């Protein structure tokens, strides 16, 4: 599981990419926990899309824990909810799915 905290933007998106590519051997499921994100910009949104693509190329199911309402709203406004989702209430729910 990767837990994202604070901002996911132009300054921090490369760190998520490093964390993804640095995973030794991801299992069949990777949970990306967004519940502690305080801010998301277009580059951060693009990084979430790229994380999805990264997972697809490795046959890994990417499951996202729902972000706070103000961050989740941006995902919906960008019409990315269906592409990135489904979103889960917490990490346990994501792992059980």
Mean pLDDT of the 32-57 span:
94
C-alpha distances in Å from residue 52, one per residue of 6, 60? 20, 9
Question: Which position has the token pair 């590519």?
Answer: 21
Question: What pLDDT, on a 0 to 100 scale, did the predictor assign at position 23?
Answer: 83
Q: Within the chain, where are the H helices? A: 13-21, 42-57, 69-77, 81-84, 91-96
**pLDDT tens digits, residue range 46-61?**
999 999 999 999 899 9
pTM of the predicted structure, to 2 decimals: 0.89
């Amino acid at each position: 599981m990767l837990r994202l905290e604070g901002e996911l933007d132009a300054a921090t998106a490369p760190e998520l990419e490093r964390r993804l590519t640095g995973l030794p051997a991801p299992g069949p499921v990777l949970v990306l926990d967004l519940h502690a994100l305080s801010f998301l910009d277009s580059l951060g949104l693009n990084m979430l899309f790229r994380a999805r693509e990264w997972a697809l190329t490795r046959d890994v199911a990417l499951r996202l824990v729902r972000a706070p309402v103000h961050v989740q709203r941006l995902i919906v406004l960008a019409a990315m909810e269906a592409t990135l989702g489904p979103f889960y209430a917490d990490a346990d729910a994501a792992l059980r799915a």
